[in-house]
Each structure stands twice: as C-alpha cells, then as structure tokens.
Structure 1
Amino acid sequence: MDILADPDLAPRLRTGLKTRTRELYEDFARTHNVQTLLMRRRRMVDEALREAWTVLQLPREVALVAVGGYGRGELAPHSDVDVLVLVPENTDTECNQRIEQFIGLGWDLGLELGSAVRTVEECLLEAQQDITVQTSMLEARLVAGSRALFETFQQRFAPTVNAREFFQAKLLEMRQRHAKYQYTPYALEPNCKESPGGLRDLQVILWMTKAAGFGDSWNELFDKGLLTRREAQELSRNERLLKTIRARLHILAGRRQDVLVFDLQTTLAESFGYRGNNVKRASELLMRRYYWVAKAVTQLNTVLLLNIEARLFPQESAVIRPLSERFYERQGMLEVSEADIYEKNPHAILETFLIYQQASGVKGLSANTLRALYNARTLMDAKWRRDPENRRLFLAILQQPRGITHALRLMNQTSVLGRYLINFRRIVGQMQHDLFHVYTVDQHILMVVRNVRRFAIVEHTHEFPYCSQLMAHFDKPWVLYVAALFHDIAKGRGGDHSLLGVGDARRFCRQHGVAKEDADLICWLVEHHLTMSQVAQKQDLGDIEVIRNFAKAVGNERYLTALYLLTVADIRGTSPKVWNAWKGKLLEDLYRMTLRVLGGDAVDRHSLLAQRKEEAISLLRLVTMDSRAHEALWDQLDVAFFLRHDARDIAWLTRHLHDKVNSPTPIVRVRLSQAGEGLQVAVYTRDKTDLFARICGYFDRKSFSILDAKIHTTRHGYALDTFQITDPDSVQHYRDIIALVEHELVIHLERDEPLPEPTRGRLSRQSRSFPIKPRVDLRPDERGQYYLLSVSANDRTGLLYAIARVLARHGVSLHTAHINTLGERVEDVFLIDGTRLAENSKLQLRLETDLLDALVV
C-alpha cells in the first residue's frame, strides 16, 4: 500500500499515539510507577510501528528489530526509538521503497526514529568495527516481520561478541565519558544519564554481564555471586530513582532532556513533593538526594567492575604481598585479610587509607575491600570518631608525603570522610547558588585540597611555578590541607561560613592535638580565606596604604604565604571560568609587595616612585632611547600614575608616547598581556567625560571582556588609559588581532558620534534561574578625595558599557576600575572623582538610581 493512497493514515496513527501517551502520563502522575511508564510507553510504540508495518505491507522476509534502549524493552517519554530493519540479500526496488515509506511514517508519527537498514552480513561487519553498534545489537528484540531472519541474525551475532574485548572497550568508553564530566557526579547541573553515577553507568554494567553470560538484571548478578542481596536491592532502588528523574525531566521539558538544568530543578523537585523552606530550596533537597544516589551508584559500580574483571581475567597464580596483619596487595589492589576485618577492628577503616598511601605499587582498593567498607558504615559512629587511635590515623593520612588527594577522594567515595568529619557529611551534595562555583561544596573543598597538593608535586610545577616554589619551602604543608578541608565546611548553615568554620577547625585541632601555632594558622586561614582575593581584585594595589593595611592584617611571612597558596587554590577550584592569568598577576603582585613590607622595607610613596622611575629608565636604555626623551611625557604625569603602573608598563607607554605628547589624534597601542593571557590596550587622547564609555562601547561590540582598567588624566588634559582585555570566544590568536584593534579603536574614537543606547543583553540561563538583586554602593574613601562605587549584578552582554554610559551622562570622572567577573556574576569596583558628589547629595541619589536602572535587564 502506498501512503499517498491513504492520506489519513499518518494523522490517525499520530493522534492515537498522542492520546494514549497523554493518558499514560496522567497515570504516571497518579501512580509514580516509572517501570510501568517505561514498559507501557514501549508497548505503545511497538503497537504503532506494527500497525504501520502491516498497513504498508512490508515483505514477509524483512524484519523490524528494536535495538538499544528500545530493544531493552524500556522507553523514556522522549527517548530516541532506535530500530534496525533486517533485510535479506538483494532486496528489490519495491521493498526498498516500502522501507523508506515506513521510516518516513515513523517520523510522521512524532517518533524520534533512529533507523538503519542492513543485511545480517552488514550487521556483523558494522558490529566488529564499532563498539556502539555492537552494544545496541546486544539488546536486539523482534518487533515485527520475519522471525526466521531475526533468529539467524541472533545465532550469527552471539558468537562474534568477545566478552573480554567487549569489557575492555566499554570500560575505556566509560572512562572517556567520565572525563567529559570531570570525573564527578557533583556538577550543579548533572546529566542524570551520562554523568558518573548516572543511568549509563548501570547500563554499562548490564551490557558487560550480558556479553559475558553472567546475566542482565541485578537479581541474576546476585544469583551469580557478583552482588550481595543488599547491593542488588540498593542498585535496583537507585536505578528506579534515576529513571524516575529522567522520565519526569522529559515530561516537564516536553522533549528529550537528561541534564538537570537549573530552569527545571525546582519544578522537578515539586513533582516529587519537595517544598522549600527558609533554609533550603526545594531543588536543593532533590539534588542532595540525587547526589547521594549517584555516589552510591559510583561505589557499587566500582565493586561490580572489579568483580566482573576478576571473573573475565582470572589470576589464580597472582603474587600476594603482605602489607600488614590486616592487609595485603594482589595485582596492585589493596585487599583485606578477612571480610569482617572492620567489624573485628574498626581502627582498620582509617588504616586502609594510610596503608594505601604508604604502600608503593598499590593503585586502588579491591572489590572485597570496597564491599567491606560499604558494609561497615554503621560502625562509624560518635564513639568511633572520638577514638584517639582513629584521630591519630586521620592526622597521619593528612601528613603523608604522597597520596593525599587520592586518599581523601577514596574516603569521600566510600563515605568514610563524611562519617569521620560529621560536618563534612552535612555538605556532601550541598549546592551553591552563587553562580561561580560549578561544583557542590564537598567537591569544591576536595578540589581545593587537590590544588594545594599539586603545588607540592614536581610533575605539576609548570602550572604555577611561583606557588610551587613557595610550597617547597613551606614548613608544614599539611596545615594548608587542613585549612582547605575546613574553609567552606560551614556553608549552608546560615550566617558567615568563614566565622562558623573557625569553630569547626578549632575543635578539630584541639581533638587531634595540633600544636597551638599551627592551630592558630589553620583557624586564621579559614576565617580570612576570602580576604586576599578581595583586596587584590577590589582595591587599588598602587595605593601604599592598601598594602600596609593588608600587611598589618596578615602579620608575618608564614601567614602571608599560606594565605596566598590557599587563595590561588580556592579560586582555581570554583570554576574554569573564574580563574584567569590577570587574577593570578594581581594576587602575585599583592603577595610580593606585602612581603617587602613585612620584610622591613621602608616602602613609602617617594622611595617607590624613585624606584619605578629608575627601573623604567633602565628598560628604556635597552631600546636605545635618548636619556632625556622621556621627560616631555613624564612632566605631564603625576605621582599616582607611577605608583599604579609597574616599570614595564611605564617603559612601554613612554616608548610609544614620548614624541606624541600633544598628539591631535587618538593613539592606540596594543600588546600581548604581560599577565600571560589576553591583550593590554593603551589609549592616549584628549580627555572628555564620555571617553571611558566610548572605549567600553567598542570592546563590548567586539565581544571583548575587560578584566581591568586604569584611568589617568595628564596635567595638560590628556587621558592615558590602559585596559586588560580577553576574548573568551575567540578562536584566533591574540597576536593576530593586535593591528586590527589599534586601527578600529582609533577610528571609533575619532568619529565622536552620540553614545548609542546600551543593548540590554539577555541573562544566561543560570542567571535567570538564580537572579541576583542588583546592588549599588557609593561611599567616600577615607581621605574624601574619591568615592568608591561598588556594583554587583548578574552578568550580561553590554553591562559595563551601560554603567560607563551612566557615569558619562552625569559627568563623573573615573579614576580606576576593577572589573571582577565571577562566573555569571559581576562585582565591579570603580574609584570616581568625589568633588562634585561631595557638594551635591542629590547628584549622588540620581547617580545611584540611574545605575540601578542600568543593571536591571
């Protein structure tokens, strides 16, 4: 039959499928039985495809086969419907036309049809060449057509599956997938199918066991001795929750949606019956449950993989190396001597990780050890935590010369860390809605510990050479690891987490016998772990008083070095978007200047001014400039310019401007940023109130991000402004666009056209889900000469230009700008001329009001 002969066929089938689907979703909303939903959805699609197959009168010798998840017999609401049309050799034209009509009709029914048309021989060839194809065929199921052809396919396909090769290929594939998701299930927007601990991990296990003939259900794996009954029950329960989350995501989104995006988390949580309160949102309650499930899946998945590997690759003659009375090493894995070793001696729980660190050649924990730890969770109670031997062992783990990061990660994965540090357990799966952390609190903390630890590892010295140099001379690195563990441990309790965390850190140090001088440093670091980044990114490092006040707060070199190392590690552990080379330079500059003050250098404005000038003149001699050529420009520059620019910047600007002091046209010079990322742009032109806004407008139009701006006005009325910019989305090298920026920016400034209205760029998806209330804070500095303008808001395209335009409209002169972008949030600080503001309180009010209006989307 030709579809054209019955134009009502597709609409009729589609309408029937939609009606039954709607009824199915309504039943699911009442019963919450996800297994019934998936099975009934599959049967509905089966029936629709069979009817289409029959109506189109496909040849009897052709078979319609479900593969992949559809072949497994389960179909999520908006999952792809993967089918294989098995055909005999040498099909005729009419058969091919009817197959094409069938596939087209499947799409007309509204199904996301993934189809392939192959002979048995072609199937076998494709399966041998592509592990994904082989995996999908492993779950083949006949839907309609020739059973004989399908059975022939099964008989010929089964012997081609090599269980060992299949295991190795899927294991490699899983590791690659985990790498894509940074090896963690704790992203704030995890993929409930593909992320570590998601449904795919469970499917991989069942694919492996099916290929090996061990079974394709948790009960069968229990029967085969690969799982205990309790483990099988937990896997089944966790799988059911993950399937429920995925099904509800599909229904809520009205499409295939496997990522738990912020936009849907609250609605999804409410569909489970969660309700928010004053402490936590409904979405946080659901996500915490999700993270705990993903963690359990990861734990049991590891056990199963090791068990399957042992069955497939038996090593009966493997060498056993005793490590202690309770542990030995076999095939590079740490084994317990007895299955009930932890029940007999609970001290052995922490000893496991100490032995893991100390024993060379041990690369992980065996399935037996992991299973024993999993079953020992109830032993880790308050009495166990108070045991002096356990406290000694835990501190020893942190003080080892190697394996600290891996040990802590293993302790977290096996729930030992959270059961020993009870306050750490409270932040496992704790979300952070500050729009710049991309991990849960526990994962961020472990990331910071890892970052600090990497400073001490030779193989990673190329990443942050100066930090590695400082770490090599730090007397007790473990003090930093403890501070990193506690720096954010009090998040989510309400109040200042830095102050609350001090109490936890103080208690830990007292219980573990930490010396007073080390305990004081740990607690100080926890309390002040945000201080250095705030000073570096929000205050003027060219102001001697800023450096002196920070040095006074730090007190000594040991505290300064510890805070610097923790600060770098902390910022790096928030999000790949937050750290950049410019922030690194600011922190290093602040460290070096503070170190000089702590070292007793008499740093004052006059000595620093003389030093900067002398260094700059030395650099100018290297480019053979006349010894007095700089004077014309320097005569027009005040002390503040020399204090706010380092010698390299002064020499660079002087070299390009010394003979253009009274230039009638704008001069723009660009070079690669000395911080190591982006460009440094210098603009020299006659000053005017809207100049900063014009420059920002150009950068905004070119999609450049401004990281920093230094604004200076010469004695004879010229602006000498420098900017640090990056192009996050550019695929071209910065060196290639230097000439373009120099040319275009000059033309842009010469046009002197009216400032265009700012575009109110759209907020990102994350910012829409967690909006920040715009904040403007305007207050005079301590000297009354300038006003400090602080702005906080959700980031969006055109925001800085909108702020600059408001300042220009009110005739407010800008002295300096610290542009601080934290993921999806901005916290910018501007130092502006306070002369007119001090005299006119109404102007202050109008400025603040207009700025708030500019911040609103």
Structure 2
Amino acid sequence: MQPLIQSAVQDLKFQKQQAVEAYYAKRRALVFFEHYTKAIERALAVLWLELFPASPLCLLATGGFGRGEMYPYSDVDLAIVSSEPLTAQQQEKAEIFVQALWDMQLSPAVKIGSVEELCESVREDITGDTAFLEARFLFGSHVLAEQLLQRMGLQRDTAAFIEAKMVEMQQRHAKSQGSGAVLEPNIKTCPGGLRDIHTMLWLARAQGLDAPLSTLISQGVVTRPEAVMLLNSHKKLAAIRIDLHLAAGRSEDRLIFDLQTQVAENMGWRDDAHRIKSEKLMRVFYRASKTVMQLNGILLPMLRGRVYSQANRIVHRIDDDYYQVGNQLAVYDKKLFFRRPEHLWKAMEILQTRNDIITLAPKTLRNWWAASRKINRAFYADPENRRRFVGFFKHGEGLTHVMRFLNLYGALERYLPAWDKIVGLLQHDLFHIYPVDDHILTVLHNMRRLAMDSRSHELPFASALMHAFEKQHILYLAALFHDIAKGRGGDHSIEGIADARRFAADHFLSEEESDLLAWLVEDHLLMSAVAQKEDIQDPDVINNFCGRVKTQERLNALYLLTVADIRGTNPKLWNSWRAGLLENLFHAAARRFAGESGSRHVITSRRQQGAADQLTRAGTPEKQQQKLWQALGSAYFVRHELREILWHTANLVHQTEQPQVRSRILPESDTLQVMVFMPNQPRLFARLCRIFSHHGLDILAARAFVTEHGYILDTFIVQIPPKHAAADYPNVQSALEAEINNFIHGYDTTAEHTACGIRSRRSRHLPIAPGVHLAAEQDYPGWYTLEIVAVNRPYLLADVAEVLSDQDISLRYAKIATLDERVEDSFVLFSPHLENPKNQLALKQALLAQLSV
C-alpha cells in the first residue's frame, strides 16, 4: 500500500504543478479547476480500486469538489456511502483511505455512513445538506449513489432550504462589515464574494433547476447578458482566489495586506505614478464583487419567488404605469424604461417618496437595470431628467438609499462619467478604509443623519446647525462631489471644482448655490487641517481661517461637511477630542464673524483678565498673581486657551517654583489632559513622551512652553486605549501621575522605555513615504513650522523630539494628528541657527531617518 501511495503522491504533485504552470501561463481559472479536479480524481481512483475493488460502497464528490471548483489548497469534500451501516472491515478500510489522502497532502473532509445515516445527519444541518446538493458520483455503486441523492432530495424542504440560505447569507454579510473586512476582504464570504455566486446556484439546484448558466438561460431564470456578467465576475474572483492560495502556500481566502502586493504582482499588475499595484488589484476585486451584488438583487428574489404562491400578493395601483406589490414597485409594461427612459428616474422618485416601498420588484429591476445601461449624453441633456436628479437631493428623505441603489447598479457612473473613475478605487494611505465611491456615499449618509430628528441625539450641536441650514441640498451635493476627482493624479480638491460647477449649471442651481457648492468642494479639507495641524489658540490662525471662510453660512456648511467627512473616512478617526477641536475652531471663528476683535493684544489681555478674575474670586492676593504673570510671561497667553489657562493658573499660583504634575479626565471622553511643570532640562519633552508611550497612551496634542524663569509648562492630551473600560480611567490616570511624579523629582526611568511595538501588517506591507516640510514663520525670526507625515509607531513623537534636542532646537508646540495608522504632525520650533540651509538639511535628513524606522 505504501508504494502505491507514494506513486499516487508523486503523480498528483506532478499533475498539480502542471495545472499551476498552465494557469500562470494563460490565467484561465476554469481550466485550472478542470485540470486540478481531474488530477485529484486520478489519485482517488488509484486508492479506491486498491481498497474497495468490486465493493458495494460508493464514493461521491461533494461541496466544492462536487462542483468542480477546486482551488490549490481547498478541502476535498467526499462521502463514502453504504446501503447498511459499515462493517468493521469496511470502516477500517475507510479510515485507511482517509489517512492516505492526508499522506497525499490533500485536506480531506469525508462523511462516512449508510444512506439512512447520511440522510439523518443533514436533516438539521444546512451546510451538510448544501454539500450533498452538489454531489457528483465518482466510483463504486452508481445505484447506491442515485438512491442517496433521491432520498435527500425528497426529504429536503425547498422553501425552508431557501430561507435558511438567505438568512445564512445575511449573517455572513453582517460579519463582513467591519473596517478590517473592507481592507482585507474574505474573497469567499464577503458581500459579492464567491459564496454569493454559489448561493444563487444552490437556490436553483434546490428547485430542480440545472445549475450550468447555459441551462438557466434556456429556462428563463437568467438572461444572457446577466449570465455573461456573472461568469466574468466569477472568473475574476476565482483567479484572485487561486493566486491567493498560491501566494500564501496554504488555504487562505482573505486578501490580507501581507499578500495583496504579491498577488497583484503575480497577476501582472505594476505600480505607476498614480496607483500602486495592490490598489489596482483591489479595484478589480471591488468591481467584480459589485457585479455579483447587482445580480444578487435580481436573481435571488426571483429564485425565491418561484417557490411561493402568488395568490396572496397585495397589489395596489399607483398610476397608469406603476403598481405596488407588497413593499416593491412594479411596472405594468416591462418595456417602459426602454420606450420612455425618463422613467428610470421616475421610478427612483417613487422609491424615494414612498415609505411603504423599499425596492423594485425583481422583473422590474431586471428591466430597469438593462435600460439604465443605455444612459448616455442624450439622457443627461434632457431637462426633465436633470430636474428629477437634483430633486433627489432637494427632497432629502431616502436620498442615501437612492444613491446607493444608483451606484450599485451603475447608473450613477453613466449619468456622471466622473463617478466611473472612483468606483472601487481604494487608497492605501493608512487611514481611508473604504473605496472612494463607498466613502462618498457614507459621507452623504452621515450628512442625512444630521438632518433627521430621530438622530439628533447623536451629535446635538451639528444636528441643530443642520436643521437651521436653509440649503441642505447643497450640503448633500457637496458630499457627493467633495472627492469625485480622486484618482486623477492632481489635487482632487481643485479638479473637483469644475465638476461641481458644471453640475450646478446643468441642474438649474442659482449662482449663489453654485458658488457655495464649488467652494465646499475646493476647501472641504480646510477646517480639518486647521483644527488638527495648527494652533487654534493663536489669534492669527483664527484670523487667517476666517479670511478663507468669509461668512457664517460658509462656516456652518464647512463644519457640517467636515464632521460628516471625518466620520465617513474611518470609524477610528472620530472621537470626542477631534470633535472638540472642530467645535472650538467653529466657535472661535463664529465669534470673529459676530464682531469680536481679532487683535492679538485684545485677545491675550482678555485671557489674562479671565484668569485674574478667577484667582481674585478664590482669594489669591494680587501680589501672588503678579509673581505668576511675571513667571509665565506674555507669550503664555498667546499659546493657551482660556480654559487651559484657568486650570494651569489655579494649580501654579502658589507653587511657581515647585515641580508638579496634574491631570484630569476630560468630560465624556477617553482622553486625559496632563500638565507637567518643572525646571527645564535637555530632552525633557522626549522623555515625557516615552512615559506616555510606555503606558500605551496615544498623544493627540502636546504644547511645550518655557516660562520666563526657566521652567517647562508642557501640556498633553493623551488618549486611553480602547482595551480600558471607562471605570479603569482613574487607575490609568493614577499610574501615569505616579510615574511622572517620580520623574520630575529625579527618579528617571525613561531610559528603560524604548521602542517595543510592532507595526501593523497594513503599515508594514502598504507603507507610505515619510515626508518632512520645514518653513520659517513670517514676522517671527528664529521661529519655524515643521510638518511631518509618517507611519505611526510606538515612541515616534519621542524619537522626533530626540532629534530636535540633538540639534539644539527648542520645541514649543506639537499638534499630533493620528489618523489610524498614519500621522500628520505639526510642530512650532524656535532655533535661530536654522537660518543656515545646511542646518535645515541636516535636520530633515535626521528626521527622515527616524520616520523610516
């Protein structure tokens, strides 16, 4: 037996290698399945004839093997069937058979039993029942095989089977909605994946319909164009899965970051000036899965509807063209959309305005989709179509549902050709997690939620602004157009202006509406950039921001778009601290528009007076206050906001020469504000950053300030990691304060705190190029702004601070923007010797060396 197995192993290995080489040569997935399936059958034939010659048993291929869809490392699904329970001798031989398959480096999944036993085993097991639905006779008693499959067919409740598979699909899709699933999709189980194609075929088989697409066409289940689209999508997804298995050297169905680049390269993709190869691969995947989802929406309801009686349908006439059946919209004339194309939008209009209708009936959807593929310039030029399209945005309710529908079925990219370039376009920038089209529709969804009374509790301030905004349709259109120019190679904010203005002119928007829409597209990143990268306590920053925004209406619109955009980029990006930054910037700008002076002197005087008033009410002598003002210096009131000043001064007024640390948990947040006051020393900022990193705290913002009497007053905002529950926050706070207290009193442990984390797979395999930009501040000699972009990692800020210390540069302010696994940090530096270009070059080189670690 052993020589036989060895011979079979060698033959199978050779046949598999030939199938792989043929696949690499021509990339024909279906041919690979055929070759590899036959190679496995040859090996099984050798074993079966050796162990079960002239046996009354039979061997069936089930599951994917029965379907003939064998990937390089797929399980081999089999069933050994007997008429009666197996004898001891038969059981022993079956065990030898299975072990031999393992020895052949296959992964057997074998069911063994009598007809009665196997029928009973799948009676309540939908997965097992599905596997036998695709059973295929291999060897042994053909009569016994027919008997088993006939018995299983008779016991299968077709309606229950279909409902179970639909529920199974819904549950599978629900599990695939996390951010990781979007970035690293499971090509087999994700929405629009291979399992969805299989589900369509299973529903057909369960009803006695032959699964080959040619047969389904002849039986009227699938149209020829639908069959072609389904087959092409299946080939693309199958090819990616084959390459995925081969790249991994194992059964791997997730397009994980570790393998995306290798799979893309193996499939012939190459980097270019605009897109890296893995992004090109993912775009092919997303477009193929989108087609499967389109067909799912038509074929699954149609297949499901075949097993239910039509007698109990509730039908209501809507008008001469439409009627309602249940919660679906149907047309009397199936050629309506071809004869009168304006009804493509009319049907969407009904869908949007009727709460009791949620989708199109399957046959209506099939004809709507077929007709929508003929949307062209003439359709776009029709004024009635334009009015209806912009009417979707003016109506508001149901807008997200309509836009997602139009995107799914390709109508949006045909009506707006610019949309076609962003469908399935994924950006590997370490913080976007959705393809651009999905991101835009998520932003649109977020904007709609702000207008809904039932959602006003989520973001009360933003919702109140939205309810008071008169031109809500412009905000919805801004969401639609803000990233529409992504992927063209230029600045998408600038290139999108032309798209927005063209749309506004074509869709009867007023000049005022057009200007607002174009400005929002152009400056949609402005508020986010200022809030996260600049010192919004500085009056000059607010003045410059207001100079760009110009009006309160624009400020309101920009704030709402920014909130919706950040929340639609990556769930990890939105937190109470970032929300507070945006709100603080909004209020500061609103005060300017309301007439408050923007004078630096007036604002700093007001801040100092506010602190003096608080200290006076607390009974602090004026002499003590003056001592504090002298220690802090006038620059202190420029760099700090009033709430921060009140907190600092209350703690410092009686201890202007004593080291101390104070912290507080910010209200309704997972962030700590930490103040450190101590005599200035070299590398203090870097050593403090190491302490925070040692405690697993992310630094969101940091302000380094040196007082007139040579003390540092450093203020940090740090985020507590999600692993801690809110009840643990006081313990985290106490542990942090204890270590910093030891540090400021001379017990330095920071030398032990070195980089100890491992970058995520995403940042290791899809890194971004680090960037360093240094610019002198106008009118302030010796002051510089430093901006860095890099992959986030443990101790990054500490290492940057070490570089600055090594070059005798004073760090005065750090604004940390952590965007998931990407950082975009801004620093204010003081260093007169940076006037020398050689020193600037040395700084940039040293920083790049650290950012590339």
**1:428–1:441 Cα contact (<8 Å) kept:** yes
1:791-848 CA-to-partner distances (Å, cap 9, x unmatched) read: 122333332222122122223222111111233322111112234534x554433322
Cα distance in 2 between the residues matched to 1:346 and 1:203:
34
Out of 324-333 and 245-254, give the one that drifted further. Answer: 245-254
**1:491–1:497 Cα contact (<8 Å) kept:** yes
1:797 matched to which residue of 2?
794
Please say if 1:302 is aligned against 2:297: yes
Q: Secondary structure at the match of 1:78?
A: coil
Cα distance in 2 between the residues matched to 1:754 and 1:358:
63
Q: Aligned pair in 2 of structure 1 residues 805, 149: CA closer, same or farther (>3 Å)?
A: farther
Q: Aligned pair in 2 of structure 1 residues 655, 601: CA closer, same or farther (>3 Å)?
A: closer
Out of 559-568 and 328-337, give the one that drifted further. Answer: 328-337
Please say if 1:829 is aligned against 2:826: yes
Opposite residue 591 of structure 1, the aligned amino acid is F
Query: Which runs of structure 2 are paired with 1:568-607 in the superposition (5 Å)?
Result: 568-605=563-600, 607=602
**1:186–1:291 Cα contact (<8 Å) kept:** no
1:345 matched to which residue of 2?
340
Over the aligned positions, Cα root-mean-square deviation in angstroms equals 3.3
Cα distance in 2 between the residues matched to 1:486 and 1:251:
40
Tell me how far 1:443 sits from its aligned partner: 1.7
Q: Aligned pair in 2 of structure 1 residues 147, 226: CA closer, same or farther (>3 Å)?
A: closer
2:694 matched to which residue of 1?
701
Cα distance in 2 between the residues matched to 1:626 and 1:122:
88
2:848 to 839, 844, 852: 852
Tell me how far 1:739 sits from its aligned partner: 2.0
**1:585–1:675 Cα contact (<8 Å) kept:** no
Q: Aligned pair in 2 of structure 1 residues 334, 688: CA closer, same or farther (>3 Å)?
A: same
Q: Aligned pair in 2 of structure 1 residues 86, 707: CA closer, same or farther (>3 Å)?
A: farther
1:684 matched to which residue of 2?
677
Opposite residue 160 of structure 1, the aligned amino acid is Q
Opposite residue 466 of structure 1, the aligned amino acid is F
1:293-332 CA-to-partner distances (Å, cap 9, x unmatched) read: 3222211111011212221223334232233332221111
2:387 matched to which residue of 1?
392
Query: Which runs of structure 2 are paired with 1:327-338 in the superposition (5 Å)?
Result: 327-338=322-333
Q: What number of residue pairs does the alignment pair up?
A: 847
Please say if 1:561 is aligned against 2:556: yes
Tell me how far 1:636 sits from its aligned partner: 3.4
2:253 to 244, 251, 258: 258
Tell me how far 1:616 sits from its aligned partner: 6.2
**1:619–1:648 Cα contact (<8 Å) kept:** no
What residue ranges of structure 1 are gaps of 5+ in the alignment?
none
Q: Secondary structure at the match of 1:830?
A: strand
Tell me how far 1:683 sits from its aligned partner: 2.6
Tell me how far 1:137 sits from its aligned partner: 3.4
Q: Aligned pair in 2 of structure 1 residues 831, 89: CA closer, same or farther (>3 Å)?
A: farther
**2:537–2:641 Cα contact (<8 Å) kept:** no
1:406 matched to which residue of 2?
401
Query: Which runs of structure 2 are paired with 1:421-500 in the superposition (5 Å)?
Result: 421-500=416-495
**1:87–1:118 Cα contact (<8 Å) kept:** yes
Please say if 1:787 is aligned against 2:801: no
Q: Aligned pair in 2 of structure 1 residues 379, 139: CA closer, same or farther (>3 Å)?
A: closer
**2:58–2:81 Cα contact (<8 Å) kept:** yes
Out of 106-115 and 355-364, give the one that drifted further. Answer: 106-115
1:178-203 CA-to-partner distances (Å, cap 9, x unmatched) read: 23333999945443322222211110
Cα distance in 2 between the residues matched to 1:686 and 1:93:
85
Q: Aligned pair in 2 of structure 1 residues 325, 26: CA closer, same or farther (>3 Å)?
A: same
Tell me how far 1:466 sits from its aligned partner: 1.3
Opposite residue 408 of structure 2, the aligned amino acid is Q
1:108 matched to which residue of 2?
103
2:317 matched to which residue of 1?
322
Cα distance in 2 between the residues matched to 1:273 and 1:497:
28
Please say if 1:776 is aligned against 2:772: yes
**1:456–1:471 Cα contact (<8 Å) kept:** yes
1:513 matched to which residue of 2?
508
**2:243–2:267 Cα contact (<8 Å) kept:** no
Opposite residue 72 of structure 1, the aligned amino acid is R
1:730 matched to which residue of 2?
723
Q: Aligned pair in 2 of structure 1 residues 812, 283: CA closer, same or farther (>3 Å)?
A: closer
Out of 478-487 and 708-717, give the one that drifted further. Answer: 708-717
Query: Which runs of structure 2 are paired with 1:210-221 in the superposition (5 Å)?
Result: 210-221=205-216
Tell me how far 1:573 sits from its aligned partner: 1.7
Query: Which runs of structure 2 are paired with 1:212-251 in the superposition (5 Å)?
Result: 212-251=207-246
**1:790–1:828 Cα contact (<8 Å) kept:** yes
Out of 234-243 and 367-376, give the one that drifted further. Answer: 234-243
Cα distance in 2 between the residues matched to 1:724 and 1:10:
66
1:671 matched to which residue of 2?
664
**2:690–2:753 Cα contact (<8 Å) kept:** no
**1:502–1:523 Cα contact (<8 Å) kept:** yes
Please say if 1:817 is aligned against 2:806: no
Tell me how far 1:226 sits from its aligned partner: 1.9
Cα distance in 1 between the residues matched to 2:619 and 2:98:
80
**1:370–1:414 Cα contact (<8 Å) kept:** no
Out of 492-501 and 724-733, give the one that drifted further. Answer: 724-733
Cα distance in 1 between the residues matched to 2:91 and 2:688:
63
1:206 matched to which residue of 2?
201
Cα distance in 2 between the residues matched to 1:663 and 1:60:
93
Opposite residue 790 of structure 1, the aligned amino acid is E
Tell me how far 1:390 sits from its aligned partner: 0.9
Out of 12-21 and 475-484, give the one that drifted further. Answer: 12-21
Q: Aligned pair in 2 of structure 1 residues 369, 634: CA closer, same or farther (>3 Å)?
A: farther
Cα distance in 1 between the residues matched to 2:830 and 2:179:
48
2:159 matched to which residue of 1?
164
Q: Aligned pair in 2 of structure 1 residues 201, 683: CA closer, same or farther (>3 Å)?
A: same
Q: Aligned pair in 2 of structure 1 residues 659, 306: CA closer, same or farther (>3 Å)?
A: same
Tell me how far 1:544 sits from its aligned partner: 0.5
2:186 matched to which residue of 1?
191
Q: Aligned pair in 2 of structure 1 residues 294, 841: CA closer, same or farther (>3 Å)?
A: closer
Q: Secondary structure at the match of 1:182?
A: coil
Cα distance in 2 between the residues matched to 1:628 and 1:91:
98
Tell me how far 1:396 sits from its aligned partner: 0.8
**2:85–2:114 Cα contact (<8 Å) kept:** no
Percent sequence identity is 38
Q: Aligned pair in 2 of structure 1 residues 346, 653: CA closer, same or farther (>3 Å)?
A: same
Out of 610-619 and 215-224, give the one that drifted further. Answer: 610-619
1:50-86 CA-to-partner distances (Å, cap 9, x unmatched) read: 5445556699576654432123232111222234455
Out of 513-522 and 777-786, give the one that drifted further. Answer: 777-786
Please say if 1:174 is aligned against 2:195: no
Opposite residue 588 of structure 1, the aligned amino acid is E
Cα distance in 2 between the residues matched to 1:458 and 1:125:
53
1:125-159 CA-to-partner distances (Å, cap 9, x unmatched) read: 55344433332333334555666765554344333
Out of 52-61 and 677-686, give the one that drifted further. Answer: 52-61
TM-score, length of structure 1 as denominator length: 0.91
**1:187–1:438 Cα contact (<8 Å) kept:** yes
**2:34–2:68 Cα contact (<8 Å) kept:** yes
Q: Aligned pair in 2 of structure 1 residues 773, 232: CA closer, same or farther (>3 Å)?
A: closer
**2:373–2:410 Cα contact (<8 Å) kept:** no
1:504-542 CA-to-partner distances (Å, cap 9, x unmatched) read: 111111111111111110011111111111111111011
**2:179–2:570 Cα contact (<8 Å) kept:** no
Q: Aligned pair in 2 of structure 1 residues 147, 438: CA closer, same or farther (>3 Å)?
A: same
1:416 matched to which residue of 2?
411
Tell me how far 1:382 sits from its aligned partner: 0.9
Q: Aligned pair in 2 of structure 1 residues 637, 23: CA closer, same or farther (>3 Å)?
A: same
What residue ranges of structure 2 are gaps of 5+ in the alignment?
none
Q: Aligned pair in 2 of structure 1 residues 606, 171: CA closer, same or farther (>3 Å)?
A: same
Cα distance in 2 between the residues matched to 1:185 and 1:313:
38
Opposite residue 300 of structure 1, the aligned amino acid is L
